[in-house]
Each structure stands twice: as structure tokens, then as C-alpha cells.
Amino acid sequence: MGATKTDNFTQNQNELATFAKALGHPARVAIIEYLMNSDKCITGEIVDIIPLAQATVSQHMKELKQAGLIKGNVEGNAVCYCIDCEKWEEFKKMLNNIFEKLDKPVCC
Amino acid sequence: MGATKTDNFTQNQNELATFAKALGHPARVAIIEYLMNSDKCITGEIVDIIPLAQATVSQHMKELKQAGLIKGNVEGNAVCYCIDCEKWEEFKKMLNNIFEKLDKPVCC
DNA sequence: TTGCTTTATTGCAATATTACGATATAGATT
DNA sequence: AATCTATATCGTAATATTGCAATAAAGCAA
């Protein structure tokens, strides 16, 4: 097939998978790291930072935006991209629910 | 193309992306949740839990194993799968490095 | 208006992923 | 040995992802 059977899973599982999938590419990790480290919103600098063609970077931005991990405000000529902190808090919470279990003594 | 250009990114970025990608499917999220919640290693129960064909589940297990998130020990007839805690700690650390930045005041 | 800059979109090719039935393999059971 | 049980693998089909060049769109500057 090729299409994920999302119907069979909980909304939570699907949402966590969506976040994780969006982060599942080194270019997108790099973009997120860059956005997290900058204290201002960033536009075309990302194209200079990521060693991929502009069209490819734009596509990665789109995927991050669709997953909800970043926001993009049009600002005159350019677009101001930034972290969507609320979504990241949600992501963090979901992952912490999983990480919690690691503290249990039984870990084979 | 279709193949990710891993050469262009740091080892850290690639590793985080690999972990995230492995978690980027609801079935694999469900498998991890199940393994995290059980106090014993699990074998074929996963096939009963996940609403997908046995072959498909086996494939997902393989991907989780390849990413390093789970371990599988052959135990007689069956295979005992379990969380690879060390890898998960590594995953957790990498994500916390990113989550840390969320506390900064500037978040547009 | 004409061109420049920035970003998005389109079209395309290569490769990867998802899913399943059928089959293989390997240990357990009778 | 014959059979059952549990997993893995193979083959195949459908769809998704990655990447780029070329082009479009939208605002800015001259």
C-alpha cells in the first residue's frame, strides 16, 4: 500500500507519530535546532544554513508547518518562521509520558 | 531522488532524526507504549495488540530494532522484544537539549 | 514600470515506506 | 517423524518522500 492506516490508532498515537515523523529528517532537525537557538524569527537564513536547494528547504519548512512544529508569518517580502511553542509543549508532554516509564526497575 | 542526504548533517542530527523517524508511525508508537508499560519482555502479544497483519508488525519491529529503540532476544520458539533503555536515554537527552530552549523568554 | 529579492509551487525522477498474502525457518510438541 | 507455533522474509502493489531545476508569485527598490 504505502498509506499509513491511521484509523486503527488513537488520536494521541497519531499525533505523536506526526510530530516524530516531522522531526525524522536531519535537515528538519537542523532547522528546528537553528530556530530554537535564535532569539529572533528567521527567514531566508535557513536556506543559507541548510546545504540543500532552496526548493527542498521550502518543502521541509512546509512539512514542519503542517505538522504544527513551526509557524510562518509573512512579513513584507519575506516570511518569518518560528517555533510553535504550544505545540512543542504538547510534544514534550507526550514524550515525557513515555520517558517516565524508563525509570521503572524492570528494563531488560 | 528519494534518498536522504545524511552526509550534509552532523552525526547528532542524523541520530536524532533516525530515532524520531522510527517513532514516526502510529503503530510503532503503540508498540513502544506497550513495551514501556509491560514489566516483562513481550513476544507475539504485539501482533494481537496491533491491528495490522503479522508480516506488517514484524516489519515495524525490524525498523524499531534497526533504529536501536528495541532489542530482541531469541527465546526458544519466540522472540523476546524489549525497550533498549540506553538508547532511549540517549534519545531523551537529545530531545531535552532541544526542549531546554523552550524555556527562553523569546518565543514568538 | 522594470527589475530584484524572497519564498512557494510545479514537474519530474529516484528511492523509501506501508501493507499484505504467501512462504520459509526454527524451535516446540505430540 | 509429523505437526504446531512464532517470526521472519519474499514478492508485489500502492503511495509517500526526497531532491532539484525551472518557474511562478508577491512585495520591494530603482
B5 located within any domain: no
Domain that holds residue B44: 11-100
The alpha carbon torsion through B94, B99, B101, B106 (nearest 10 deg) reads: 160
Nearest to A45 by CA among A88, A84, A81, A83: A81
Q: What mean pLDDT do residues B40-64 have?
A: 92
CA distance A40 to B82: 42
**Residue A53 is part of a domain; what is its CATH number?**
1.10.10.10
pLDDT class of B108 with cuts at 50, 70, 90: low
CA angle A64-A70-A75, nearest 5°?
115
What separation, in Å, do the N-terminal and C-terminal C-alpha atoms of chain A show?
35
Q: How many domains is chain A partitioned into structurally? A: 1
> CB distance from A42 to chain B under 8 Å?
no
- B105 pLDDT more than 60: no
pLDDT class of A27 with cuts at 50, 70, 90: very high
B6 located within any domain: no
* Residue labelled with grid coordinates 534497526: B66
- B41 pLDDT more than 80: no
- What pLDDT, in 10s, does the model give residues B69-96? 999 989 888 999 999 999 999 999 999 9
Q: Do B4 and A16 touch (CB under 8 A)?
A: no
> CB distance from A13 to chain B under 8 Å?
yes
A55 located within any domain: yes
B53 located within any domain: yes
Beta bridge partners of B75: B78
- A78 pLDDT more than 70: yes
Q: What mean pLDDT do residues A78-105 have?
A: 91
A57 nearest nt, CA–C1':
D19
A5 located within any domain: no
A32 located within any domain: yes
Q: Which residues in 43-102 of chain A line strand C, with CB less than 7 A from it?
A: 43-44, 47, 54-55, 58-59, 61-62, 72, 77-79
A104 located within any domain: no
Closest chain A C-alpha to B34 CA, distance in angstroms: 10
Q: What mean pLDDT do residues B20-41 have?
A: 93
> CB distance from B53 to chain A under 8 Å?
no
The predicted pLDDT at position B39 comes to 66
- B34 pLDDT more than 90: yes
Q: What phi, psi does B40 have (nearest 5°)?
A: -130, 160
Q: What mean pLDDT do residues B46-73 have?
A: 96
- A108 pLDDT more than 90: no
